[in-house]
């Protein structure tokens, strides 16, 4: 009923007058009647706004060849949000199907099955973020490098490096200041509340300065005002490393550049720098895509190109190779998706194949405490997912739909505000959700779906972010 009344009021919304003549028609209109509909209309998600007033819909734009990357990042951001909902209120769903905590006799839920659990497997989605960022940030500079446009290459890298801090941190300033206000109003996180306002300001500044350091993120749990921001200094630091690698290798021939890139990735692997591996792997996938887009021969094309899945041999051999390559990609995707369902609570020793990976993690991951040994496998699976989707155009269509592109539009802002929504709204709504659906073992998945409905309603707030993470 409330939503219906808002929509009815919003239908009468008209923009503020822009000329003196327009004021004459509004003399007998109460000022509140003009202001309130504008405010309510602005709070609605953009798809609803466009449905109410079609003239506000922006003209359709042609999707770029890499638009699927934005859609994939949008879904990854959504899954991260669902992960934090699930691990906060439905932790038993984060363990594998058929396993139980001590004393828990409730039957397992279908949501705990492999592949299905991906919708709330948030940790592998962060690794996908990094591979996508490596791809997107290096794609344009690599095109300039391959075309010999050194001036454009340097201009692009200079612009990207200079703007990177602002693109990443200005939205963080806005989101954490909102949390700052909520803390002063005692909405949540009372343990972070200082005695005076200026002490709170100093505490916020020191906390924000901490996440602005891109080189001290190992073991970093995030900013006290939003611990989900632990990924931001990683994004910033690895972006700078990526720009340096692209610049250093830009004058090399394709085969040599690939060889040196593989050596750098191997060096990062040996040092345990999984984020660097993901960014540079994204760079490698981007160059493969550029090669595929160009009909001319390169140094990689002197033999049947195993990397690109193409061959210059006879049609029959080409058909056999195409079938084998398709089987390889399908198997690769299935294995990667299975690994990405790694349980949040460390029940890995009870999951087939994951227990093998856990026991055979290479150094230095094998020496890590807790479940950090899984980062090497998460990095590998994230690279494989992006690579397979890049190679299969029919999979890319799932990430270029209208809904996927809407998620792409709000992906970074959704990542920033979902924690605030969780603490502000969902935690207070959960008692009503449990009272609504009861505590029956057969309704665990109903609990989760109902909670998701409550959780997703305020997501349109994320459209108010200052900037997006597009290069």
Residue range 180-208, pLDDT digits in tens: 888 888 877 666 788 889 998 998 998 88
Percent with pLDDT over 90 in the chain: 31
The model's pLDDT over 98-125, given as tens digits with 9 standing for 90+, comes to 777 776 667 777 888 888 888 888 889 9
Task: Give me the pLDDT at residue 304, please.
Answer: 39
Least-confidence region, from 276-290, 319-333, 348-362, 376-390: 348-362
- Which residues does residue 226 pair with via DSSP β-bridges, in sequence order? 223
Q: Report whether pLDDT(309) > 80.
A: no
Q: Report whether pLDDT(453) > 70.
A: no
Query: What does pTM read for this prediction?
Result: 0.81
Task: Give me the pLDDT at residue 87, please.
Answer: 84
Domain ranges of the chain: 71-294+304-464
Contact 307, 284 (CB under 8 A): no
Q: Report whether pLDDT(447) > 70.
A: no
The model's pLDDT over 203-260, given as tens digits with 9 standing for 90+, comes to 899 888 888 888 775 555 667 888 888 899 999 999 999 999 999 999 999 889 999 9
Contact 180, 197 (CB under 8 A): no
């Amino acid at each position: 009923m409330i939503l219906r009344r808002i929509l009815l009021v919003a239908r009468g919304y008209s923009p503020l007058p822009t000329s003196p003549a327009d004021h004459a028609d509004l003399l007998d209109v109460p000022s509140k009647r003009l202001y309130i509909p504008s405010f309510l209309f602005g709070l609605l998600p953009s798809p609803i706004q466009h449905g109410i007033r079609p003239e506000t819909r922006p003209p359709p734009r042609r999707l770029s060849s890499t638009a699927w990357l934005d859609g994939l990042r949008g879904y990854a951001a959504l899954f991260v949000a669902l992960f934090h909902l699930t691990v906060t209120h439905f932790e038993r769903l984060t363990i594998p199907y058929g396993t139980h905590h001590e004393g828990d006799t409730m039957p397992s839920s279908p949501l705990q099955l492999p592949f299905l659990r991906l919708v709330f497997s948030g940790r592998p989605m962060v690794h996908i973020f990094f591979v996508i960022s490596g791809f997107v940030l290096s794609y344009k500079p690599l095109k300039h490098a391959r075309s010999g446009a050194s001036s454009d290459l340097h201009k692009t890298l200079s612009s990207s490096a200079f703007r990177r801090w602002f693109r990443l941190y200005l939205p963080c300033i806005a989101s954490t200041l909102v949390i700052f206000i909520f803390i002063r109003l005692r909405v949540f996180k009372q343990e972070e509340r200082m005695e005076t306002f200026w002490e709170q300001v100093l505490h916020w500044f020191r906390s924000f300065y901490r996440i602005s350091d891109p080189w001290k993120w190992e073991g970093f749990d995030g900013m006290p005002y939003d611990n989900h921001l632990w990924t931001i200094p990683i994004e910033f630091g690895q972006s700078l490393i990526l720009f340096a690698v692209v610049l250093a290798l830009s004058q090399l021939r394709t085969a040599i550049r690939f060889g040196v890139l593989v050596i750098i990735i191997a060096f990062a692997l040996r040092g345990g720098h999984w984020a660097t591996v993901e960014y540079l792997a994204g760079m490698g996938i981007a160059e493969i895509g550029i090669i595929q887009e160009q009909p001319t021969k390169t140094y990689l094309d002197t033999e049947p190109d195993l990397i690109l899945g193409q061959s210059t041999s006879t049609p029959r051999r080409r058909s056999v190779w195409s079938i084998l390559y398709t089987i390889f990609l399908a198997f690769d995707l299935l294995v990667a998706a299975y690994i990405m369902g790694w349980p949040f609570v460390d029940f890995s020793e009870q999951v087939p194949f994951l227990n093998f990976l856990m026991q055979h993690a290479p150094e230095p991951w094998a020496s890590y405490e807790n479940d950090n040994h899984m980062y090497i496998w998460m990095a590998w699976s994230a690279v494989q997912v992006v690579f397979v989707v890049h190679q299969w155009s029919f999979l890319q269509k799932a990430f270029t739909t209208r809904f996927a592109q809407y998620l792409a539009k709000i992906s970074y802002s959704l990542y920033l505000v979902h924690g605030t929504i969780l603490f502000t709204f969902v935690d207070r709504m959960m008692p009503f959700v449990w009272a609504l659906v009861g505590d029956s073992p057969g309704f665990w998945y109903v609990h989760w779906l109902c909670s998701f409905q409550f959780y997703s309603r305020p997501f349109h707030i994320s459209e108010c972010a200052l900037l997006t993470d597009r290069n």
